[in-house]
Amino acid sequence: MSNINGRSLAVLMASMAVLLGAAMIANPLGQANAQENQTNQTNATGAVVVTKIDVDPLMKALKDNYPKVGDVKDPKGLVDAMNDIKDPKEVVRNMIAAGLLHDLEKFKAIQDSE
């Protein structure tokens, strides 16, 4: 009796392993195919349609919420602006906001050049 239970358990474990392996292989492939390239969409005529993202409201919101980093243009200015902030968490928030502003300015420049 125990021999039959052992075989049944072995067959059950083997089939679960095969099904799990198949699911792990099939799932990432399905996700990769579902995420088609949507960066440059083409319309019915075949022309490429490029969507511009308006970053000005994001930049204004960051400058309004973090006024110390709004006008900073170089790293030394950023260090000078952070010197009088005592809370380390606030310094980190301002540093991240400065990095985001810098990245958004570069992104806007790239969009405007196209």
Burial of 26-47, coded b for 16+ CB within 10 Å and e otherwise, reads: eeeeeeeeeeeeeeeeeeeeee
Give whole-number Cα distances, 42 to 24, 32, 109, 113, in Å.
33, 20, 24, 21
Torsion-angle region of 52 (φ positive above 0: left; ψ -120 to 50: alpha; else: beta): beta
Q: Is residue 72 part of a domain?
A: yes
Tens digit of each residue's pLDDT (9 = 90 or more) over 72-84? 878 788 888 888 8
Q: What is the structure's pLDDT at 113?
A: 85
User: pTM value?
Assistant: 0.54
User: Can you give the residue range of the structural domain that contains 24?
Assistant: 2-37
Same domain, 17 and 72: no
Provide the 3-class DSSP secondary structure of residue 43.
Answer: coil
Q: Is residue 18 part of a domain?
A: yes
Same domain, 28 and 63: no
Binned at pLDDT 50, 70 and 90, residue 4 comes out as low
Lowest mean pLDDT among 14-23, 42-51, 105-114: 42-51
Rounded to the nearest 5°, which phi and psi values hold at 21?
-65, -40
Same domain, 56 and 100: yes
